[in-house]
Structure 1
Amino acid sequence: MRRTTSPLRALVATATLSALLLSGCSDDEPSVEDPADDSAPSASAAPDETTETSAAPDTDAETATAEPEPSGPVSSDDGAFELTLPEGWLDVADQVEQKVEIAVRDDEMTDDFYTNLVVASEDPIEDLQESIEEAAKSVAGSDGDYEMLDPIEIAGEEAFGYLLTRTTNGVAVAQTQRWVEHGDRLYVVTFSSAQGQQEATEPVMEELLSSWTWQDESATG
């Protein structure tokens, strides 16, 4: 049964949460602000704990904290799919307070930002393409830009999406978001990088998405 109530609010909330979880920030700007707070109150659910994950490691206390080890395939929290990480990437889902399916990032910060990929999930909604464009407008805000992207396939399932650019915590970022339905879930995939690294990191995003495999027998493709 598809959910039909307030789809835009849910889309914007999921988009904002996914986009901000692993944002890098400079040492003198440790907090992450919510750019969609005015348009989607539920998007402000990301608490301050996310900044601990995103801050650049520059203190003795942080070096004493065990870093997550690089791993092979990473399974989603619901067990529906898995991804294979590129070399130098880390599974950091256990550092994230919010409910997500997957949270991974590059171990190296570039242009004050950790290139990262976050996957969250929602109940499926009607009018998905139209709702995604409305979500893009809300997440981009008045200072950001977005463009709708042609659909692609993720493990045999059609995935709609957009590319947006905006500034968060003083860092210009580029975020490609894809929305893919599988079974009774809608998966929201957000790949984020520093804006100046968008073209350079696109092959990494393609590598991650091409490694996506569904773990149930109903998978297509």
Structure 2
Amino acid sequence: MTKPSGWSKSSVPNAQISLAIKADAQADGVFTNFNVTSAPAASGQDISAYTSAGATQMRQQGATVTPVADRKIGGEDAKGYLVERTYSGAKLAQTQYFVQKGSTVYITTMTSAASQKANADSTMNSILGSWTWTK
């Protein structure tokens, strides 16, 4: 994928994170950021099951979850949702997509201040539109 101009790598203490990048400046108190986590796919599970489980987990944490349109990521089918929640006093918008490639499920997350969602969506679409698989 192509990193947006003015963004840099971010270090996140989570072994499941394959990629973490963020804007170089905050917008409304939040660094807009994009990350990718991965996990082995469970036998017999399809991408809808992962998406449903993720949405349920977010709702259990008190977030509002709204489905978003399916899309392709690197030519593979992806499903996702929008999460709206407050974290450390900031109103956040997070769009997550789940995509499976081979025996791995990837979860992409774009996070921004809720007021910056339109800009974040544009950046996310650019990132996901440039996505190619190397394996």
Fold match by TM threshold 0.5: yes
Paired residue for 1:110? 27
Paired residue for 1:91? 9
Per the TM alignment, residue 142 of structure 1 is displaced from its structure 2 partner at its CA by: 6.1
Higher RCO structure, 1 or 2 (CA under 8 Å, sep 6+): 2
Aligned length, in residue pairs: 132
Deviations 1:114-141 (A, max 9, x none): 0001101011131431342232132134
Distance 2:2 2:29 in 1: 25
Secondary structure of the corresponding residue to residue 166 of structure 1: strand
**1:149-188 equivalent positions in 2, closer than 5 A:** 149-188=68-107
**1:42-81 equivalent positions in 2, closer than 5 A:** none
TM-score, L = length of structure 2: 0.90
Per the TM alignment, residue 150 of structure 1 is displaced from its structure 2 partner at its CA by: 2.2
Distance 1:209 1:202 in 2: 10
Counterpart amino acid of 1:90? S
Per the TM alignment, residue 149 of structure 1 is displaced from its structure 2 partner at its CA by: 1.7
What runs of 5+ residues in structure 1 fail to find an aligned partner? 1-82, 217-221
Give yes or no for contact 1:105–1:115 (8 Å, CA) kept in 2: yes
Bigger share in helix = 1
Distance 1:131 1:121 in 2: 12
Identity rate, percent: 31
Per the TM alignment, residue 97 of structure 1 is displaced from its structure 2 partner at its CA by: 2.3
